[in-house]
Amino acid sequence: MSGQLLPPLDLAHGDVSGLTVEQRAAMWFDLLSAGHKLVLSGLRQEYGSEEAVRTAYRAWSAEQMAAHDRTIESMLRRMQQRRTSDAC
């Protein structure tokens, strides 16, 4: 179906348990790369000039990293709270 967001199940990767660590890492890298290409494509449509796209991408990337840092910090706080409550 044209314009379909998700591919049909028969095109899905399926079970990755038989892949080596290197193959899994390569697959993960390909997915990350595809995601970044999609973000850049959207930014190009929105901003046009390459300089504006690079600026917007840097801002987007910085916000993604800040959100990641907040998530990790929150997880670490919860782990610390559990350790403290388990020690009692």
Evaluated on CA atoms 74, 75, 80, 83, the torsion sign reads positive
pLDDT at 88: 64
Give the type of residue at 41: S
Per-residue pLDDT of the chain (88 residues; tens, 9 = 90+): 456 677 777 777 677 888 899 999 999 999 999 999 999 999 999 998 999 999 999 999 999 999 999 999 999 999 999 988 877 6
pLDDT at 9: 74
Kindly list the distances between the CA atom of residue 34 and the CA atoms of 27, 47, 53, 69, in Å, as whole numbers in the listed order: 11, 20, 17, 23
Phi, psi of 35 (to 5 degrees): -60, -45
Report yes or no on whether pTM surpasses 0.85. no
Helix (H, G, I), strand (E, B) or coil at 88: coil
Most distant pair of Cα atoms in the chain: their distance: 59
Task: Provide the H-helix boundaries in 21-49.
Answer: 21-47
Residue-level length of the chain: 88
